[in-house]
A and B are shown apart, each in its own frame.
Chain A
Amino acid sequence: MLTYIIRRLLYAIPIIIGVNVLTAVLFFYVNTPEDMARKILGEKNVTPAAIENWKQDHGYNLPTFVNTKEEGVQKITQTIFFQKSVPLLWLDFGKSDRNNIDISREIRTRMWASLAISLPMIVAGLIIINLFLAMMLAYYRATYIDIWGLVLAVVLMSVSTLFYIIGGQFILGKLLKLFPISGYDTGLDSFKFLVLPVVIGIAASIGSGVRFYRTVFLEEINKDYVRTARAKGLTEGKVLFKHAMKNAMIPVLTNVVVSIPFLFYGSLILETFFAIPGLGNFTIDAIQSQDFAIVRSMVYLGSILYIAGLILTDISYTLVDPRVRFE
């Protein structure tokens, strides 16, 4: 297993470098360092001298990939790409271009807010509610409960997340006055702010989640071993919850484990509407303000987390299916 993990980690290196190169190419294809300077310095009194000064102080006065003015290895090291990307390898994200904040510290601070909202959403929503409801529908398959449940799921998944957010804020926050409409706090005080976005986040995911898991369960309950279990005289509940569920875990795990790394990223829309200071908000702000330092860091972090998620998924298969082996 260890050899397998090491091999997968080694495979990840060229992927991460490739992601970095691609990010830099795409970013600088769309934006020149002059564009960044102009955007960041504001609208008033942005002289060419001020732009040049900004570039020098933020290390953007160098060529992007090859510095022909330097000798030897410095042709590569004295470039924007090398200077900005190499420290990422040891997770030194540097300072933001927009306001010089330390990005690593900002990520460490903000990730808790993202986790606070996305963790309950994934645990309570994805795993408990969606799985439970999907099993219920599978249990009552081909009955009016299944049919109407499915219709409701389709309706729920057809509604925009924005509608859930605005509707939830309006009904639960404004009309019924049960929760703060938006906001965030630290520690235990965060509880009252998290209920509404988490409930809305769960409600928004029920439709698609239930449909997906129902399909998985239905596929499973038509297999031979289920028929054998029924023939053995087991109750439908036991067949479904004890036997079929175990075997349906591979697609479920694929779905859940891959989404775990993105817990840190949080939910972009929910965070913005509920004024939750998470990483989703951070990334959106950086894109809007053309802060390459943050965009680069978040893309890099995202690629690492995605690779980690895929490795975790592979490992988790061995836990639920003894037939799966690392080779």
Chain B
Amino acid sequence: MIELLAATSPTSTGEAVAFWFLAPTAVVAAVMILLSRKAVHSALWMATTMIVLAVLFIMQGGIFLGVVQVVVYTGAVMMLFLFVLMLVGVDASDSFVETLRAQRVAGILLGAGFGVLLIAAVSRATFPEATGVGAANDAAGGHVEAIAEAIFTRYVFTFEVVSIVLITAAVGAMALTHRERLTPRRPQPELSVDRIRSAHPTPHPSPGVYAQHNAVDTPALLPDGTASEASVPDELRRQGTVRYTELEDARKQEDEDGEQG
């Protein structure tokens, strides 16, 4: 299997077919990241591109790298993106209003120029006859062994530095998203003592007038037919979205009329 995938020089027909199928997929998905109005759709296209790239890595003999690509990128990084999208709000679609005039045209022109430069450089360069990584794998006794040997001997210093970078990033993320409490936390015993000393130690009446409504924004009716303010959440009362029954509305109207008259 590894010998088969170690991608030796003249590429096989199978690889060519896979490439001409996967490369347009990657490019279309990458363009759709730019064109999607909603960030969630961009994230899904990004995941597509990353999976296609993982397959391309494996096709070129980077089996370990292909697996790492799936685990780290499509697994961890994309999930992180989706978490943050959910925190920030999924519905928030991008505004397409330009704050700088003609910035979009300038950006696309710059990109096109840069692309021409890159492709010209690649097309002008002469490359060695592709040998594939098969020989390097065999010298170490296997693909993963070859990568392990490189990481833990020649690149061991880079490896250590990268581990420091990762630890710093983890600490940095915690420091950045940490929020100080503005008010001291009130423990459970203190809250229960407060409740017993208050005028209303029992639970509040449940909301809803069951013959007509069954919702938290409808206050319960007291025996005399008036609405019980304690039965609706404070937050709804603050927002002014409490739904009174028609009877209660009529009574309030009467009270107001009586006061005016």
Are A and B interaction partners?
no
